[in-house]
Structures are given as structure tokens and as C-alpha cells.
């Protein structure tokens, strides 16, 4: 686990870096804040850039915690760019990349990559507006 300078982890944040196929890694960039009861589950790798604002009750997972029809659990890294804002109760699923300056609305379920500077919302999340580039 790698935490940058001045990372703020609020009450009851859960960071789980445990992989069945080897070591898992969570990286959180400088000046990022993660709200109450948010959870980050890495079976392989979750990278969160600098200057991000992640609200309360957010779940970020690079895994499903089940095997379905496979012999092995499937992991896919999550990469969240710099200066990303993620609203409360959003869920970021495995294999997702969220571009720099993007905004994920509260309650969204992110199942596809999010372009830099885009606002996404809904279940599944879709692009609502481009060119928002949130800046803390």
C-alpha cells in the first residue's frame, strides 16, 4: 500500500489489499481525501491519483469476490486519474479507468471507462456532460 502526502482517510475507511494470485497494491496520491465508510478492495491493483475527492460510502473494487464459471477469480486494475471527484455511494467496478478531472455523480455505478473532464451519472453511469474538469 502506498499513500501519498496529506492523504485524508475519514472514519471507518476500509482499505483491503489482498490477492489470491499474489500481492495486491493500493496507491493513493498526494492530497486525496476519502470519506467515511468508503471501501477500496484490491485483489490486484487500485491506483487513485493526486488531489481526488472521494465522498462517503463509495466502493471501488478491482474484483468481484467470486469465480462464477472460472477456476480463478478475475481481477482487472482500476485507475482513477488526478483531481477526480466521486460522489457519495458511487460504485466503481473492476477494470475501470476514470480520466483526469472527471466527476462521478452520487449513486452512480461505473461499468465503463470515464473520459477525462466528463461528468457521469446513473446506473450504469453514462456521460452527461464533457469539459467539466473539476478542480479542488
What pLDDT is stored for residue 21 in this prediction?
72
Could you tell me the residue ranges of all domains in the chain?
2-130
pLDDT category at 122 given cuts 50, 70, 90 is very high
CA-CA distance, 57 to 62, in Å (whole number)? Answer: 17
41 among known catalytic residues: no
Instruction: Return left, alpha or beta for 51; rule: phi > 0 is left, psi -120 to 50 is alpha, else beta.
Output: left
Superfamily (CATH H level) for 2-130: Hexapeptide repeat proteins (2.160.10.10)
- Catalytic position from the list 10, 41, 66, 79: 66
Chain segment 14-65, per-residue pLDDT in tens: 999 988 777 899 999 999 999 999 999 999 999 999 999 999 999 999 998 8
What pLDDT is stored for residue 135 in this prediction?
59
Q: What is the pTM of this model?
A: 0.92
Amino acid at each position: 500500500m502506498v499513500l501519498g502526502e496529506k492523504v485524508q482517510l475519514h472514519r471507518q475507511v476500509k482499505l483491503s489489499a489482498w490477492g489470491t494470485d499474489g500481492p495486491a497494491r493500493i496507491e493513493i496520491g498526494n492530497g486525496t481525501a476519502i470519506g467515511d465508510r468508503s471501501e477500496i478492495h484490491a485483489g490486484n491493483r487500485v491506483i487513485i491519483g493526486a488531489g481526488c475527492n472521494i465522498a462517503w460510502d463509495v466502493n471501488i473494487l478491482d474484483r468481484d469476490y467470486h469465480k462464477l464459471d472460472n477456476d480463478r477469480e478475475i481481477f482487472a486494475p482500476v485507475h482513477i486519474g488526478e483531481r477526480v471527484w466521486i460522489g457519495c455511494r458511487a460504485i466503481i467496478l473492476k477494470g475501470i479507468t476514470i480520466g483526469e478531472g472527471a466527476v462521478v455523480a452520487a449513486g452512480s455505478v461505473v461499468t465503463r471507462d470515464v473520459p477525462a473532464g466528463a461528468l457521469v451519472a446513473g446506473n450504469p453511469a453514462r456521460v452527461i456532460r464533457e469539459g467539466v474538469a473539476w478542480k479542488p
